[in-house]
A = this chain, B = another copy of it.
């Protein structure tokens, strides 16, 4: 598709990713751009959630999406269909994005051309948690079929996320998923985490999520 640009991102040349991430965060702040780093396991519904999010906010803000994938273009094509700017970041087998790779994406989107930039990180609960991308905020999706015990098994991911979306709540009746336990385990890892149950398929909970995002985007524009 013509409206999907594919970028083969290069490994960072910076010694310290953390320092570089802080630098990117400052650049974003200077240009009034809010960057969300969205993480999850494979198949938890990142792309469907993103499509709902775009639908809710695209008339209010200029949105740009970076789709990080090892080597497919499946998601960027789906996002481009929503009408917002979407670019594909190919990590060349890498399991995460670092700040410099993210910067290459932000540059392609045009830092002054978007109010709300979204990085859909590689589907992985381990490595993306270890690399600060320079995003303004981190969010993750945990889907009901994955189980409520995941905060016990992937502690770092839950501890670095400002928001945890609990997706696929429509299938709760068919799984042994304990929402109270899930909340308890998430807050154990991160007492400040905002937890929002959603169903990206039906749109349930998207209002609350869009409201939180709007507040962050407005904050970034101040």
Contact = CB atoms under 8 A, between A and B. Distances in A.
A71 B158 CA distance: 14
Nearest to A43: B146
A41 B123 contact: yes
A42 B95 contact: no
Given A145-B168, A150-B43, A171-B174, A156 B70 contact: yes
Interface string A151-178: 0111110000000000010110011000
A167 B52 CA distance: 28
Given A153-B70, A168-B145, A127 B127 contact: yes
A82 interface: no
Contacts of A174: 170-171, 174
A126 B174 CA distance: 28
Q: How many copies does the complex hold?
A: 2
A74 B174 CA distance: 23
A150 B42 CA distance: 8
A6 to B, nearest CB: 15
Contacts of A208: none
Interface string A27-47: 000000000000001111000
A179 to B, nearest CB: 15
A124 interface: yes
15 contacts: A41-B123, A41-B146, A42-B146, A43-B146, A70-B126, A70-B156, A72-B152, A74-B149, A75-B153, A93-B156, A122-B126, A123-B125, A123-B154, A124-B126, A145-B145
Given A70-B126, A72-B155, A124-B126, 11 more contacts: A41-B41, A41-B42, A41-B43, A42-B150, A70-B155, A72-B153, A74-B149, A93-B156, A123-B153, A144-B145, A145-B168
